[in-house]
Amino acid sequence: MTAEQIIEQAKWPESSDEATADRLIVHGARIAMAIDAESHELYTAVPWDHSGTEPYRAAVRRYMDSLVSMIAQAQVTIALREIQKSSPEQAAELSVLLWELTEDGGALHEIMWDVLNERGIDAQAVWDHATESAAKRAHVEAGEQGSREMVRCDYCGEDLPSVRHRSHVPTTPNLQRMGFAADKVVCPECVDRRRAEQPARCSLCVQGCTNACVQVAREQGGN
């Protein structure tokens, strides 16, 4: 069985009838592993030799955000698995509920407010703090981007701010497996074009090529 076929088995259910506990558990585990792989890539992109600088802090934040996302996804997956062990019926009902809430769009956001308020935590205060922190972070990163010198992509020649994305500098192992040289600067647009040329793609490509995706490409004769 190819990696692409395995990923297909672990995709998000398309209907409530397909939303069994096993499907959600497998999907959750797959997503957690994909985020974990992304975390490793983000970790390698941290400029550890420049500790205390804004590029360093921004890279660490991106890595920590990814790590926290992986932990959260893994925790939900483990919790559902444990419920399934003690009560398969309850796990089945919960899986359908989770699927419906996720497909609803705004329900998850609203429920988080209810969860906090019901337990004596001011949800509005939490939201205000989160939005203020996010705004400050965006402002700092935007200012840092505007103040950095412009460099050129070694593949298309376009100007771009340096060290703004992990696709720029340094080139990560996954990007090297796609054929980009370790000592070259590559822009996100060139990465996207190279991905589009790959003979095989998986649903994770939107987050960055994973080892599974690269393996599929290799098996089908890609670079």
Domain boundaries along the sequence of the chain = 150-223
Quote the pLDDT of residue 55. 85
Q: What pairing do the DSSP bridges indicate for beta strands 159-161 and 150-152? A: antiparallel
Question: Which of 161, 134, 158 lies closest to 145, judged by CA?
Answer: 161
Q: Does the pLDDT of residue 69 top 80, yes or no? A: yes
CA 55 to chain centre: 20
- pTM score, whole prediction: 0.60
Which letter, b or e, does each residue of 4-27 get, where b requires 16 or more Cβ atoms within 10 Å of its Cβ? beebeebebbeeeeebbbebbbbb
Q: How far apart are CA 209 and CA 207, in angstroms?
A: 7
Confidence of residue 97 (pLDDT cuts 50, 70, 90): very high
Q: Does the pLDDT of residue 149 top 70, yes or no? A: no
Distances (CA, A) of 36 to 8, 40, 65, 105, 163: 19, 6, 11, 25, 22
Quote the pLDDT of residue 217. 47
Residue 223's SS3 state is: coil
- Averaged over 70-76, what is the pLDDT? 96
Quote the pLDDT of residue 214. 47
pLDDT tens digits, 5-18 = 888 889 999 999 99
pLDDT tens digits, 29-48 = 999 999 999 999 999 999 98
Q: Does the pLDDT of residue 212 top 60, yes or no? A: no
Q: Does the pLDDT of residue 211 top 70, yes or no? A: no
Angle at 111 between CA 119 and CA 130, to 5 degrees: 80
Angle at 15 between CA 14 and CA 19, to 5 degrees: 95
| Strand intervals (E) in 71-221 | 150-152, 159-161
pLDDT tens digits, 168-209 = 334 455 566 677 776 677 777 777 777 777 654 444 444 444
Residue type, 139: H
DSSP track, 133-157: HHHHHHHHHHHHHHHSPEEE-TTT-
Residue 160's SS3 state is: strand
- Averaged over 127-134, what is the pLDDT? 89
